[in-house]
Amino acid sequence: MSDRTPRWALAEDGDGWWQAAPVPPAGAARADGPLLRVRDPAEAIRSAPPGTRWVWRSTAAVYPRLLAAGVRVERCHDIEDAELLLLGHEGRSGEPRSAAAAWARLHHAPVPPDPPQRAADPRAQDPLFDPQPAAPLPLDALLAVHADQAVRLGATEHPDRMRLLVAAESAAFLLAAEMHRAGLPWRADVHRALLTELLGERYGGGGEPRRLAELADRVSAAFGRRVRPDLPAEVVKAFAKDGIKLRSTRRWEIQELDHPAVEPLIEYKKLYRIYTAHGWSWLGDWVHAGRFRPEFVPGGTLTGRWVTNGGGALQIPKVIRRAVVADPGWRLVVADADQMEPRVLAAISRDPAFMEVAGRPEDLYTAVSRQGFSGDRDKAKIAVLGAVYGQTSGDGLKNLAALRRRFPRAVAYVDDAAKAGEEGRLVRTWLGRTCPPPAGSGEGYEAGDGGVDPGGGPDGIDAGAPQGREDGWTPGHASTNTRARGRFTRNFVVQGSAADWALLMLAALRQATAGMRAELVFFQHDEVLVHCPAEEAAAVVEAIRAAGDRAGRIAFGDTPVRFPFTTAVVECYADAK
């Protein structure tokens, strides 16, 4: 990837002043361009050419205040995120990733530990809020780290892919800040009505909801004595008294039981969950002025999926989505990538038959079902998911054999990833995000080339299988932990590569909507919500379709695999299903 975009660096100098300068060409010691020293970083942005890629310590630390000043940035290079990705690729996950730490490593100085993550503030509307507080790094030091990162990016297994990953995740941090600022439209009045409808009135206006109390009473009545349904130990004991032995009180364990407590107990669990996780107090904490503003963290999981801090934004119960309503005259475009993970598996495994199936203009599982599953879509779906998740028992295992016959390379790809994990090696996503070493593998992890490469390349990173590991791994004896590690790495390459694709898709969509009034307001693994004026909805739908295609081409090159969306234009999120 040749990047002719101008690059400027921006750094806080510690006195409340900011410095900005063009990034010198590789090899040059010092910028020959202007050196700006300003009070307001927005001023620096406005002084540089439009489209500049901004090199800074942390997007989350800088960008909110730029947005508050009315300044948007097209692209950036987030030093601390790049450091995280590079350390991972080098087999050094867990080493501090702050810019200061990167600088210290470069100069063989004592490496400061990363500052602890602060909990999200429900009222975080303050643009100066910094989720990653850290000592500022002077401009020259930042430039030195940036130059070092450029060299290390060039030394990765697939430099072009890795640069793509770094650029895309940097864009994702820009988007995350923009989505936080925009907020998800949220009707507190609708939410309140919904809660009352589901849970009943609260005793005394703020106490336990009536329906919850009634259900708890019914559970007690069914057992003939007082049993609190939210205490698993009490529930297990109560069932035992009635001659039913339970390993847990999980819903799937109890729902088939023949006992009068089961029905009210399951209903209680469902409503209790809503009450505690998305009830009245959640509403008071998280919804202000008609918006829910979670803090999105791109790449917050090991696989590269995003997480959110506070508000449980990625676990909003479907029933609560009734409260997500577009502004008057506006719409929500809800787009869900169809079978994202199997399509990604087709693209990364290069299995010809699976790619062909994933390129047909129809439901992927239906297409798979015609290849050795005699049209049984459910069986085909179970087999595919079982392969991706590493299912160890049940129907998935039976159907896996049929899948392996028809799509040997696709199944071999995930099997190889599982084997790598069991042998203590590292695996990577398509763009190069790398899984951490197994717990207990200690210091000095040998990072080499590799990961899973069924194309016949070098056979992965050689971990050297250190002795005395906590996971009990020894050659030839697959422990429970070893198998779990295999399931993790198996899933990692698919879930992670899907997250790679999603990053590129979001970056493309963000770019496409930059000239519109439309705003991305929510993202959840394979689903994106855009809030836009009704008259823009059709253009947004098309932009999403194009972004999916473009992401597929940029990530995986020219393959027959398609990445379609199911898209709905609605006023209320709950109507999208």
Place of tokens 């970056």: 507
Q: Which CB sits closer to DNA, 385 or 546?
A: 385
Any contact of residue 487 with DNA (CB under 7 A)? yes
The C-alpha atoms of residue 529 and residue 519 are separated, in whole angstroms, by: 9
Task: Name the one range near DNA by CB under 7 A: 46-54, 64-72, 424-432, 480-488.
Answer: 480-488
Q: Which CB sits closer to DNA, 171 or 493?
A: 493
Any contact of residue 394 with DNA (CB under 7 A)? yes
Q: How far is the CB of 6 from DNA (least distance, A)?
A: 35
Q: How far is the CB of 373 from DNA (least distance, A)?
A: 12
Q: Which CB sits closer to DNA, 157 or 526?
A: 526
Nearest in space to 298 (alpha carbons), one of 115, 388, 435, 166 = 166
Among 120, 195, 238, 507, the residue binding DNA under the rule CB under 7 A is: 120
The C-alpha atoms of residue 5 and residue 63 are separated, in whole angstroms, by: 19
Place of tokens 């057992």: 223
Task: Name the one range near DNA by CB under 7 A: 103-111, 446-454, 525-533, 546-554.
Answer: 525-533
Site string for DNA, 258-297 (x = CB under 7 A): -----------xx--x--xx----x---------------
Site string for DNA, 209-248 (x = CB under 7 A): ---------------------xxxx-xx-----------x
Nearest in space to 165 (alpha carbons), one of 105, 89, 100 = 89
Q: Containing H/E element for 470?
A: none
Tokens of 561: 């695999």
CA-only gyration radius of the chain, Å? 26
For residue 463, the one-letter residue type is: A
Q: Which CB sits closer to DNA, 14 or 284?
A: 284
Q: How far is the CB of 521 from DNA (least distance, A)?
A: 16
Among 27, 108, 206, 252, the residue binding DNA under the rule CB under 7 A is: 252
Q: Which CB sits closer to DNA, 522 or 556?
A: 522
**223 backbone dihedrals φ, ψ, rounded to 5°:** -90, -15
Among 52, 59, 149, 303, the residue binding DNA under the rule CB under 7 A is: 303
Q: How far is the CB of 276 from DNA (least distance, A)?
A: 4
Among 37, 123, 237, 250, the residue binding DNA under the rule CB under 7 A is: 250
- Please name every residue paired with 55 in a beta bridge, in sequence order, or none if there are none: 9, 77
Q: Containing H/E element for 468?
A: none
The C-alpha atoms of residue 577 and residue 85 are separated, in whole angstroms, by: 35
Among 125, 196, 220, 301, the residue binding DNA under the rule CB under 7 A is: 301
| Strand-by-strand arrangement of the 184-185 sheet | 184-185, 291-292, 287-288
C-beta separation of 529 from 190 below 8 A: no
Any contact of residue 491 with DNA (CB under 7 A)? yes
Any contact of residue 309 with DNA (CB under 7 A)? yes
Q: Which CB sits closer to DNA, 354 or 488?
A: 488
465: left (phi over 0), alpha (psi -120 to 50) or beta: left
Any contact of residue 567 with DNA (CB under 7 A)? no
Number of residues that bind DNA (CB under 7 A): 59
Any contact of residue 395 with DNA (CB under 7 A)? yes
Query: Cα–chain-centroid distance for residue 546?
Result: 21
The C-alpha atoms of residue 194 and residue 343 are separated, in whole angstroms, by: 37
C-beta separation of 531 from 518 below 8 A: yes
Any contact of residue 429 with DNA (CB under 7 A)? no
Any contact of residue 300 with DNA (CB under 7 A)? yes
Any contact of residue 159 with DNA (CB under 7 A)? no
Any contact of residue 131 with DNA (CB under 7 A)? no
Any contact of residue 392 with DNA (CB under 7 A)? yes
Cβ atoms within 10 A of the Cβ of 576, count?
Answer: 19
Cβ-based neighbours of 78, under 8 Å, separated by 6 or more = 56, 57, 58, 59, 169, 170, 173
Q: What angle do CA 233, 237, 242 make, to 5 degrees?
A: 150
The C-alpha atoms of residue 565 and residue 202 are separated, in whole angstroms, by: 41
SS3 call for 286: helix
Q: How far is the CB of 190 from DNA (least distance, A)?
A: 17
Q: Which CB sits closer to DNA, 75 or 269?
A: 269
Q: Which CB sits closer to DNA, 69 or 257?
A: 257
Binding site for DNA (CB under 7 A): 120, 230-233, 235-236, 248-252, 255-256, 269-270, 273, 276-277, 282, 300-303, 305, 307-312, 314-318, 336, 378, 382, 385-386, 389-396, 484, 487-488, 491-492, 495, 524-527
